[in-house]
Structure 1
Amino acid sequence: VCVSVSGQIRYSIPEEMQKGSSVGNIAKDLGLDVEQLSDRAVRILSRGRTQYFALNFKSGHLYVTERIDREEICGGMEMCLLNCEVIVEDKMKLFPVEVEITDINDNAPSFRSEEFDLKISETTAPGSRFSVRQAEDPDMGLNSIQSYQLSSNIHFLLDVETRSDGVKYAEVVLEKSLDREEQAVHNLILIATDGGDPVRSGTTQIRVIVLDSNDNAPVFSQPVYKVSVWENVPKGSTVVTVKATDLDEGVNKEVKYSFQKITDKASKKLQLNSNTGDVTIVRNLDFEEAALYEIEVQAHDGGGLFDRSKIVIVVSDVNDNAPELTITSLLNSVPEDSPPGTVIALLNVQDLDSGENGKVTCSVASNLPFQLRKSLDNYYSLLLIDSHLDREKTPEYNITITATDKGSPTLSTQKTILLQISDINDNAPVFEKPSYTAYVPENNPSGASIFSVEASDRDLDRNARVTYSIRSSNLQEVLLSSSISINSQTGAIYAQRSFDYEQFREFEVQVQAQDGGSPPLSSNVTVRVFILDQNDNAPRILYPSLGADGSALFEMVPRSAEAGYLVTKVVAVDADSGHNAWLSYHLLQATEPTLFSMGLHTGEIRTARGFADRDAVKHRLVTLVKDNGQPPLSATVTLNLVFAENFQEALPEMSDQSGDSTPQSDLQFYLVLALALISFLFLLTVTLAIVMKLRRSRKPKLFQCFGPEPYSKTGSVFPPNYEDGTLPYSYQLCLSSDARKNDFTLLQSEYGVADSPLGYSGLSCYLGKLTCVIDSSLSPKS
């Protein structure tokens, strides 16, 4: 039978059903889909220590898992109910279920002993009633004791009385006077029968002992002894003392006490002193096990007379049971973006005590983002109330739930739930610094690591896996790819080629750190790379310019020059920078060291004293230009100086430089000789070509010049780098307008001079505008 009352499901089954027997189709009654049933989706929880029912997930039937004994579970209660709850996990719903256990005739009437003695005085008058041992049947209703029968005899008959509570009591009535001398012992059989189907019965033997005359029975001082004791009363305590008196004397006055009717539970807890009538506790009382004990006690004298009384012991509850807190459903972890109202756990709380001692309240710490909400009867839901969970601040919560009863003193139970907060990708990678500066010496090896960046991510696992990449740079894209790279896993930055400080001195790259979350988060940082200069460039001499032999041209110094006269200046540059570009000038060699001095930082060559007649006219100076690097690099230049007041005076010294100068190596000699020969052949060829052309021309031009193009400087044919008397190696060959023969005119600035190698071909020049005739018979000096 299935009945739905106020949202509850109730079934009715008989006791002692076999294990596996179906109680009812609970899936159908609750409207659940049988195909979706599983031990994780639906669970059955029974109240109490024994799980009597379980759910068949294939059929949806509720079936019996343990032996159900109505008498053991409910005792003498008229209505026996077993409660359980059906928990639907995915819906977080509870359905209470009540199962009524109906009685069957599974217990036969029984007596406490197979035989007992009944002592009756021979003087007892007919019609006297004698109490006999009552049978016990734990079944209810018709299944309990319905009748008593006494074996056939001539002295006794049985009278069965039904009391107001429905219990039947049997008494033996003396029908015919006894005669001890005729028969001292009478054996009777008492049969107790119930009304079940089939009928069950129990028997006991009554041995009637006929005694001598005893005309006074004991009498109890109270018909009912009612006491109230606390359940925590210690063992050995006397809870009540019964007292009966007998007016007889001697042996007939001696009263003995015994339990006439007592339950098994009471017999294990209480003990009666047969001599004193003291009822003591032999085992601890438990209010939750039994709150009331009703015992029938009998006092009988030595003559077999007796009296009956009733002992009622009311057990008062004390707060000796702490609340029981059970977690019926639990989430082990929740994402840190879980919304408020998320159910974390379902809890069941019970207290075996009664009254205020059994009222329980549950609480959770107020500093946690959780709260408890009562959902059904003794069930609580643990809810999330804060939507701002942050795993990076609090990766887990130890949620302590406290269940406290209202007893005095209060008892409480705590249960701790460990809740993990699972990670979401809510943190971007963060670099250690807002920007980075790296310094790399130039000429670095290709592939070397020049710097390393590192970013951290507060998330976990994949959300915290950082990869690095170069997003942009102020370098050209082609130059960037060939110059710089980054390790995507470690953040190490590598130079793909050797840097040159003279090419570029600094550049910026933007590095991106990106995590592996979905969607990924990233951050950027700027790395500024400075190229450090190294001393890899030697000084380069700009002035004076070097000739073919590696020496500078001649410089003319007036003989009248005084001390401090600026002869010339060496100009040099260094492609490096900083200390590596600081230049110093040194005079290494000089024909007369005391005659000249050189500025250390200016490069100016001045006369240290005036020219003396004993001094040589021509001087050779070797100067050194050195930078300040480590190790230092240098360059040298050789200067030729001539002391003369005018050019005509200096010309012989200049033209004789090859003979007067310091002998050169054989290689230099042959090179000069070859250059002179080639120059001569070239001039000869040009001259012959001009002559042939002029002869063929009818109207020769007024003036025709051959040779290098004059410098554009107005009023001068000196080159732009001429300073302080430096003479250029250039000339012009011009044809006179009135030429009639094979002669040529060489026009030159009055300060100009023909290239000395031409002297070998017979060409020589004098100061001023002179006509030079090509004549092989002329000597070089003339």
Structure 2
Amino acid sequence: MAALENALHCRKLVLLSLLSAVLWEAGAGQIRYSVSEEVDKGSFVGSIAKDLGWEPQALAQRGVRVVSRGRAQLFALNPRSGSLVTADRIDREELCAQSPRCLVNFNVLLEDKLTVYSVEVEITDVNDNAPRFAVEELELKISETTAPGFQIPLKSAHDADVGDNALQKYQLNSNAHFSLEMRNGVDGNKYPELVLERALDREEEAMHHLLLVASDGGNPVRSGTCRIRVKVLDVNDNAPVFTQSEYRVSVPENIPIGTRIVTVTATDADEGYNAQVTYFLEQIPRATTDIFELTSTSGDLTIMKSLDYEEAKVHEIDIEAQDGPGLLTRTKVIITVLDVNDNAPEFYMTSATSSVPEDSPPGTIIALFNVHDRDSGQNAFVACSLPEELPFKLERSVDNYYRLVTTRTLDREQVSFYNITLSATDGGDPPLCTDAHVVLQVADINDNPPAFPQASYSVYLKENNPRGTSIFTVLAHDPDSEHNAHVTYSLAEETFHGAPLSSYISINSDSGVLYALQSFDYEQFQNLQLWVIALDSGKPPLSSNVSLNLFLVDQNDNAPEILYPVLPTDGSTGVELAPRSAEPGYLVTKVVAVDKDSGQNAWLSYRLLKASEPGLFMVGLHTGEVRTARALVDRDVLKQSLVVSVQDHGQPPLSATVTLTIAVADSIPDILADLGSLQTSTDPQDSDLTLYLVVAVAVVSCVFLAFVIVLLALRLRRWHTARLLPSSRNGLAAMPASHFVGMDGVQAFLQTYSHEVSLTADSRKSHIIFPQPNYADTLISQESCEKKDFLSAPQSLLEDKEETFSQVNL
């Protein structure tokens, strides 16, 4: 029968749980359920999916879970049914002691939306605790003179349950001397009192045995018993009386151990031994008795363990006063614990990410966390903050939940990671603060192209370089990371002098080193411009380019080239004429030379290395002009030979030499006459005058014939040279102007230093008219010379573009 009643009771409890699970308060924004204690693990509490409007099948996908703080997990979610079930056996007495209502609060987190819902579950009581007395046996001593109607307070029973399941009544076994009455205390509890119905007679019965039964109102009813032994005494007919029926005191939770809280005092109207009062703490199965200590002789109540407002806000202590014979009375001490700010705020990180792309939009959620303070009132008010200079902010949600979100787009190249300090401060005095740290890595994206340190580069390379020579190294820096920062190099596709640029220069794609594929010649080109492209490995890749100007540095690899006098091709020696009337400084001729090099390598200097008549001629160091150093005299020989050296200023210097033949005479006949006199004077021992005349006539005839032949040869050479000069001038025009340092121009030289020749056909003698001495280094103009044909020479030899002025080379 009892088993049937228990089954019916369990069914009622389950039905009550199912009915209470549908509670929903929309105005408060909170889900409320009710469940009985001691139900099995996995028992149904309520349908979360139904109350939130979800489909049960979507629970696992949405990432729904129960979040509780500061205690064991009491409830769980059934992902199949969307129901809230118990996660373990629930003992209401462990959670809430004897509080009228036992409420458990927790949160349900929707992870995909980071949304939090508050859930409140009321734990209803079941009758799982029987009333219990502090002692199983009680001994009372009553004087036989005690009048009927005398009331004796008895030990009360304690029931851990509440409501109807709590202690409801006391019963006493039937006897002839005693009855039981109930007295309502100021706290609303019922206390049993033993009432003497008939005077006692120690001689008739010295000891009375009674049984006190305490019962609750549960179904089934539970009870507890206490055996009472009543010993009949004489005289002592007064019990102690407390000065207050109830003592109330308030103490802060940080009160030092050993502090006296209150002193209870009880007086006994008896005297002597019957008036000696002793104080006791009522022994009940609660932890409160371990916290306080009562001095039995003085009634001082002292604290023995630290108080904690968060564990218990009120302590109720029952104190008994007993006189010497054993009569007792009781009072209640209610100790109210005052909260002090002894708990710092606590962080509960619900969700957090460790990395975020740098292009994430403002408002990206980094973390979701809860802040809680176990204190109460103003001490539990928590304000959360973070440094202002960071690109983040806090958004407060329900139930002290916060979202950490970005306020702007992040830039990994400026800050690659953040160590975010979250500070929570309560409202106590002084306030307590707790810090939490969130380390956030900023993930890189390819948003920066490679960058060169300079907008352009200028590189100088000596000509005649070996093939494969390293010219220069270009480096580009990409502030991105990993593959986004891997840079490869290439050259822009261009042509130079009709050939691809890649046939001249190559570049190492990894190191950026430029190599020369050819040996460069400064005389072919002086500079080369190219573009270097730097490309990263991101997706999509980014690139940049830079201009590089390669300038060739001239080397002294070309010796001076003598343009004038031009060496004859027929083996003869060119002759320059100097009139005997020339004064010192007279310009005889000029050596003209060029150097294909440039700069210092093309600076030319002229020196006289050798002369048949030292001191007669001098050469300009920078001009190459050959001038007379002194006046000519008759003793000076007809033919003067000069060796002139032309040297550049390179390191090492290069040089060239030319031999000049200068004839000292005023005209060709003079030259011939001088030659005849020289020939005659060579044989001074011959005194035969006739022989002299014959020889002289023969010599003159031979000389004249030779002169005519030579003159024809010169005309032919002049005609040939005139054809070659245009090509030489074109070749010189292609050279840089810097190659003609110290030179007045080849054409000016050819016009200025050409000697004029005039031939007459009506005379057997040829006359060469020399210009008069020109101390201003200028010669007579060609237009002043007379144009005549010589003998019957072929017209093609005498006409060279109507020029009648020729350069004479002997």
In the alignment, which residue of structure 1 is the partner of 2:507? 486
Greater alpha carbon shift after TM alignment, 507-516 vs 58-67 = 58-67
SS of residue matched to 1:325: strand
Query: C-alpha separation between the residues in 2 aligned to 1:161 and 1:646?
Result: 172
Give the drift of 1:771: 9.2
User: Does residue 1:447 correspond to 2:465, yes or no?
Assistant: no
Partner of 2:534 in structure 1? Answer: 513
Written as runs of structure 1 = structure 2, the 5 A alignment for 1:315-394 is 315-385=337-407, 387=408, 389-394=410-415
Question: What residue is the counterpart of 1:209 in the other structure?
Answer: 231
Q: Which residue of 2 aligns with 1:579?
A: 600
Q: 1:9 aligns with which of 31, 48, 51?
A: 31
Q: Give matches, 1:426-437, under 5 Å.
A: 426-437=447-458
Tell me what 2:262 maps to: 240
Distance 1:94 1:561, change over 3 A: same
> Could you tell me how far apart the structure 1 residues matched to 2:39 and 2:557 are?
104
Q: Which moved more, 1:12-21 or 1:57-66?
A: 57-66
Higher helix share: 2
CA deviation profile, 1:543-586 (whole Å, cap 9, x unmatched): 22223477743444445555444333221111011111111122
* Paired residue secondary structure (2:351): strand
- Mark the CA change 1:370 to 1:564 in structure 2 (over 3 Å): closer, same or farther: closer
How is 1:553-568 mapped onto 2 (pairs within 5 angstroms)?
Answer: 553-558=574-579, 561-568=582-589
Q: Which residue of 2 aligns with 1:286?
A: 308
CA distance in 2, matches of 1:432, 1:474: 26
Flag the 1:551–1:259 CA change in 2: closer, same or farther, 3 A: farther
What is the distance in 1 between the residues matched to 2:632 and 2:104? 138
Task: Tell me the CA shift for residue 250 of structure 1.
Answer: 1.2
Match of 2:518 in 1: 497
Matched, 1:533 2:570: no
- Secondary structure (helix, strand or coil) at the match of 1:410 reads coil
3-state DSSP of counterpart to 1:308: strand
Deviation (angstroms), 1:609 = 4.2
- Amino acid paired to 2:101: M
Q: How does 1:324-723 map to 2 (within 5 A)?
A: 324-385=346-407, 387=408, 389-471=410-492, 475=496, 478-548=499-569, 552-558=573-579, 561-610=582-631, 615-647=636-668, 650=671
Cα deviation digits, residues 149-194 of structure 1 (max 9, x gap): 4456554444456779774433333345444344444444433333
**Compared CA separation, residues 724 and 73, structure 1 to 2 (3 A):** closer
C-alpha distance in 2, partners of 1:352/1:710? 121
CA contact (8 A) 2:491 2:533 kept: yes
Which is worse superposed, 285-294 or 54-63?
54-63
SS in 2 for 1:597: strand
Q: Which moved more, 1:523-532 or 1:435-444?
A: 523-532
Q: State whether residues 211 and 304 of structure 1, in contact with CA within 8 Å, keep that contact through their aligned partners in structure 2.
A: no
1-structure distance, mates of 2:69, 2:302: 33
Pairing 1:270–2:274 present: no
Task: Write the mapping of 1:39-438 to structure 2, written as runs, cut at 5 A.
Answer: 41-57=63-79, 60-151=82-173, 154-160=176-182, 167-260=189-282, 262=284, 264-385=286-407, 387=408, 389-438=410-459
Name the CA shift for 1:654/1:80 in 2 (closer, same or farther; >3 Å). farther
Task: Quote how far apart the aligned CAs of 1:418 are.
Answer: 3.2
- 3-state DSSP class of the match of 1:377? helix
Q: 1:536 to 1:33 in 2, by over 3 A?
A: farther
Q: Secondary structure at the match of 1:264?
A: coil
Identity of aligned residues (%): 54
Q: Distance in 2 between matches of 1:177 and 1:259?
A: 31
Counterpart amino acid of 1:534? Q
1:504 is matched by which residue type in structure 2? Answer: F
CA contact (8 A) 2:142 2:237 kept: no
C-alpha distance 190-614 of structure 1, shift in aligned 2 (>3 A): same
More displaced stretch, 194-203 vs 205-214: 194-203
Cα drift, residue 71 of structure 1 = 0.7
Residues 1:8 and 1:724: Cα distance change in structure 2 (over 3 Å): closer
Separation in 2, partners of 1:74, 1:426: 59
Q: State the 1:73 CA deviation.
A: 0.7
Structure 2 distance, partners of 1:397, 1:713, is: 86
How big is the shift at 1:94? 0.6
- Counterpart residue number, 1:758: none
Could you tell me which runs of 5 or more consecutive residues in structure 2 were left unpaired when the two chains were aligned: 1-17, 677-714, 729-746, 758-763, 770-788, 795-810
Q: Give the distance between the partners of 2:793 and 2:368, measured in 1 at CA.
A: 126
Cα 1:652–1:329 shift into 2, 3 Å? farther
User: Is the 2:158–2:284 contact (alpha carbons within 8 Å) kept by the matching residues of 1?
Assistant: no
CA RMSD of aligned residues (A): 3.8
Give the Cα separation in 2 of the matches to 1:238 and 1:278. Answer: 7
User: 1:317 touches 1:354 (CA, 8 Å); kept in 2?
Assistant: yes
In 1: Cα distance, 2:75 partner to 2:595 partner: 100
Q: Count residues with an aligned counterpart.
A: 685
- Paired with 2:191 and 2:203, the residues of 1 have a C-alpha distance of 31
Task: Determine the C-alpha separation between the residues in 2 that align with 1:237 and 1:375.
Answer: 44
Asked if structure 2 preserves the Cα contact closer than 8 Å seen for 1:134 and 1:261, the reply is no
| Alpha-carbon distance in structure 2 between the residues aligned to 1:578 and 1:153 | 144
Q: 1:654 to 1:467 in 2, by over 3 A?
A: farther
What is the TM-score when the length of structure 2 is the normalising length?
A: 0.75
Aligned-partner SS, 2:288: helix
Deviation at 1:258, TM superposition (A): 2.0
Change (3 A) 1:477 1:49: farther
Q: Do the aligned residues in 2 keep the contact of 1:397 with 1:418 (CA within 8 Å)?
A: yes
2:66 and 2:107 in contact (8 A); partners too: yes
> What per-residue deviation string (whole Å, max 9, x for no partner) do you get for residues 70-114 of structure 1?
011111122212111111122021111222212223223222223
The gaps in structure 1 that reach 5 residues or longer are: 656-705, 729-746, 753-766, 773-782
Return the alpha-carbon distance in structure 1 between the equivalents of residues 389 and 234 of structure 2.
85
